[in-house]
Amino acid sequence: MWLPFDNPKKMDYSVLKRSSLPEFAYIRVLNGDTESIVFLENERIVGAWHLDLNTLEENNGHTAMEKIEINQDSLIEVYEADEDLFRTLIELNDESKLSIPIEAEIILNEMFPDVSSREELLKKYRIQVPGDEAIERLINDYKS
């Protein structure tokens, strides 16, 4: 896998929304003992690479996509590239190209959930906030 060190620009993904993803980007996912790179063009995944750091097994393309995992402990870095640099990256990492691009929704939903309010998050994860009566009942049960 060949990636530049001085360019492109690393983006702050903590405030990044799916709608503000750059037209040309690559995403680096560090997850425990694996590293993955996903190449994005116009919200479509056009290439992928995956490395198991324990076995040093490398996977490219669709096989790499099957192995990418994103969880709460994953470190995600988003890099923006201009079109020329992006084309160069794809050309130099030709083995990582997908034969058919994949809608980026499958991976972006994991990284950048489009939830903006506390209520939406609670609803999404089916978390019910206890009311005053429930809290009072818990306190009384605890005291007895």
Domain ranges of the chain: 9-114
Quick one: average pLDDT of 71-91?
A: 87
Are 138 and 78 in contact by the 8 Å Cβ rule? The answer is no
Q: Is the Cα torsion angle 65, 18, 26, 96 positive or negative in sign?
A: positive
Higher pLDDT, 114 or 45: 45
Look over the chain and give the mean of its residue pLDDT values, rounded to a whole number: 80
Quick one: average pLDDT of 120-144?
A: 72
Number of other residues whose CB lies within 10 A of the CB of residue 76: 18
What is the rounded distance in angstroms from the CA atom of residue 28 to the CA atom of residue 1? 12
**DSSP string of 90-133, one letter each residue:** HHHTGGGEEEEEEETHHHHHHHS----SHHHHHHHTTPPPP-HH
pLDDT tens digits along 25-55: 888 888 889 999 999 998 889 999 999 999 9
Residues with Cβ within 8 Å of 22's Cβ and at least 6 positions away in sequence, in order, are 11, 40, 78, 80, 81
Whether 3 shows a pLDDT value over 90: the answer reads: no
Please state whether beta strands 57-60 and 24-31 pair in parallel, antiparallel, or not at all (unpaired): unpaired
- pLDDT confidence band for 134 (50 / 70 / 90): confident
pLDDT at 71: 78
Quick one: average pLDDT of 8-15?
A: 58
